[in-house]
Amino acid sequence: MLLASAPLAAANDRTPSVDPSFRGVTIVASRQKKGAPLRVDGVFRVSQAEANLIGRPLHRSLVCIVWNYGESVTPFREVVLFPDDEVQKGEAVSGAFSFQLPVPQPGMYLHVALGEHLSASVRSPD
């Protein structure tokens, strides 16, 4: 599956907020209008030790799975990333992301994985 546009490794007004103790990946999905590409916004936070095991930069290891569509994508595989795309605060490493998928049908379920972390299942909106 190809992305509908270049992914972004920065927070925006749709980035989910998480508690400082949160560890894992969380996402939200939205559409500008019916039939438009599916927009996925998310955030991850893992321990420094986990980040080193997964491999840096962490964005490259994000995988989005669209279950009912039978597809997956690694949105940041070929994207230029910068050191400040990840934020280290204490023993946690975090980052934000957004990307658009050409999934026109509503009702698809998706997850984003990072290492052993899997986001909650999100249903694509109409």
pLDDT digit string, tens, across residues 31-79: 988 888 999 999 999 999 999 999 999 999 999 998 877 789 999 999 9
Is residue 13 situated within a structural domain?
no
Full residue range of the structural domain in which residue 43 is found: 24-123
- Checking phi first, is residue 35 left (phi over 0); if not, alpha (psi -120 to 50) or beta? left
pTM tops 0.85, yes or no: yes
Q: What is the helix (H) or strand (E) element at residue 31, kind and residue range?
A: none
Residue type, position 97, single letter: F
Is residue 51 situated within a structural domain?
yes
30-to-14, 55, 67, 82, 98 alpha-carbon distances in Å? 9, 29, 17, 26, 11
Is residue 94 situated within a structural domain?
yes
Domain count, the chain: 1
Q: How far apart are CA 53 and CA 51, in angstroms?
A: 5
Q: Over the stretch 102-112, which tens digit does the pLDDT of each residue have? A: 876 778 899 99
| 3-class DSSP assignment, residue 58 | helix
Q: How far apart are CA 96 and CA 32, in angstroms?
A: 20
